[in-house]
């Protein structure tokens, strides 16, 4: 079967050559739920923005292969990519204000893209918008739809973005930290909504999060990024049963426990993500790795456990 996403060796860099995403390969089958995790700054959002063709203007990308829903970004006309992104990909941005025009009422913002891409009537669009914001956990739907973005809290705006992403029955949803502004009950409701859409329509979901716990609950396969590179990739059960990369092992260790008491400090991973302004030789994780050896300063190996489990480390721990 053809892949829904087939990206080989995506690199995103600044004009001055600072490499922010470094030869990342990512693929997805139709109907799959894939989680992309990693600490702040590891390149999750930039990878997503390349797929939705919204990379900041000061950045450029290259790849050996870049196909999304059958469209080859390396050769397609810009208009074809724009239509694909607008019509078939639903994007939930990390920044809740990102997509919303401050001076246009929510009802019009949700409905307009739907009318444009599906040729539905304004009444049909509004009806669908009402159902979706309700499913995203909003009780007073009419008040919400008649508001301007600046009248809403971050959590409300996040749910508007989620409803907006689902309006066109997309084949692929890319959700970038979709639950950060929400309290835990609504978080679950939102994640369950994605899962429902996945089950009902076989919609694929690419879920970006720094929270491995959330991704564990929700995704089938996980990609772990660190400093712009893929450290490990595996099915969720395999990843938690046999994490191979020292970074993944640390991430799993610091997953917030559900039993954390009030006032108790969350565990953090010691050390810092490396400065990407310098070219890093060998392993990018070496400065924080307790298994570091001399070889890690010079080189790093990609290892394959099987077709579905790969990791980047000189050792097999
Ligand atoms: N327009 C830009 N110009 C230069 N550097 C950028 C630009 N946008 C992002 N970066 C840098 O690229 C790196 C990756 O950024 P990205 O936003 O993809 O991280 P992220 O994994 O989504 O982090 P977070 O969890 O904080 O959202 C970071 O070091 C960031 O500072
Ligand atoms: Mg981000």
Q: 44-63: per-residue pLDDT in tens?
A: 999 999 999 999 999 999 99
Q: 44 CB less than 6 Å from ligand 1?
A: yes
Beta carbons of 37 and 206 less than 8 angstroms apart? no
Question: pLDDT tens digit string along 89-130?
Answer: 999 998 877 778 899 999 999 988 888 888 889 999 999 999
Distance between CA 215 and CA 317 in Å, rounded? 23
The two structure tokens encoding residue 57: 């203007």
Q: Tell me how far apart the alpha carbons of residues 276 and 268 are, in angstroms, rounded to a whole number.
A: 21
Å from CA of 100 to ligand 1 middle: 21
Domain boundaries, the chain: 5-304
Residue with tokens 């992309």: 36
| Residue % of the chain over a pLDDT of 70 | 95
Tell me which of 15, 39, 42, 274 to substitute to probe ligand 1's pocket, judged by most ligand atoms within 8 Å of the beta carbon. Answer: 42
| Residue 245: per-residue pLDDT | 97
CATH number of 5-304: 3.40.50.300
Q: pTM, whole model, 2 decimals?
A: 0.92
CB 312 within 8 A of CB 301: yes
Across 214-246, b (16+ Cβ under 10 Å) vs e yields: bbbebbebbbbbbbbbbbbbbebebbeeebbbb
């Amino acid at each position: 079967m053809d892949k829904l996403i087939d990206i080989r060796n995506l690199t995103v860099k600044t004009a001055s050559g600072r490499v922010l995403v470094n030869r990342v390969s990512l693929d997805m089958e139709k109907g799959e739920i894939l989680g992309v995790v990693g600490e702040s700054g590891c390149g999750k959002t930039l990878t997503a923005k390349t797929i939705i063709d919204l990379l900041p203007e000061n950045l450029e990308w290259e790849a050996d292969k870049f196909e999304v829903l059958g469209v080859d970004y390396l050769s397609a006309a810009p208009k074809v990519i724009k239509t694909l992104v607008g019509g078939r990909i639903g994007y939930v941005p990390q920044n809740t204000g990102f997509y919303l025009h401050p001076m246009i009422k929510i009802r019009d913002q949700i409905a307009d893209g739907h009318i444009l891409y599906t040729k539905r009537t304004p009444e049909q669009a509004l009806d669908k918008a009402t159902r979706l914001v309700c499913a995203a956990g909003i009780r007073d739907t009419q008040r919400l739809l008649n508001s301007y973005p600046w009248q809403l809290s971050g959590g409300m705006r996040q749910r508007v973005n989620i409803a907006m992403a689902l309006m066109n029955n997309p084949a692929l949803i890319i959700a970038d930290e979709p639950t950060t502004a929400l309290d835990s009950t609504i978080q679950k409701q939102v994640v369950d909504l994605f899962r429902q859409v996945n089950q009902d329509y076989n919609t694929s979901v690419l879920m970006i999060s720094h929270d491995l716990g959330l991704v564990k609950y929700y995704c089938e396969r996980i990609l772990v990024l660190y400093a712009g590179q893929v450290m490990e990739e595996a099915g969720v059960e395999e990843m938690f049963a046999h994490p191979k990369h020292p970074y993944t092992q640390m991430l799993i260790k610091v997953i917030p426990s559900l039993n954390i008491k009030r006032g108790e400090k969350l565990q953090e991973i010691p050390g810092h993500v490396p400065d990407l302004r310098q070219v890093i030789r060998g392993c990018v994780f070496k400065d924080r790795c307790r298994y570091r050896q001399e070889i890690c300063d010079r080189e790093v190996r990609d290892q394959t456990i099987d077709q579905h489990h790969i990791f980047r480390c000189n050792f097999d721990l």
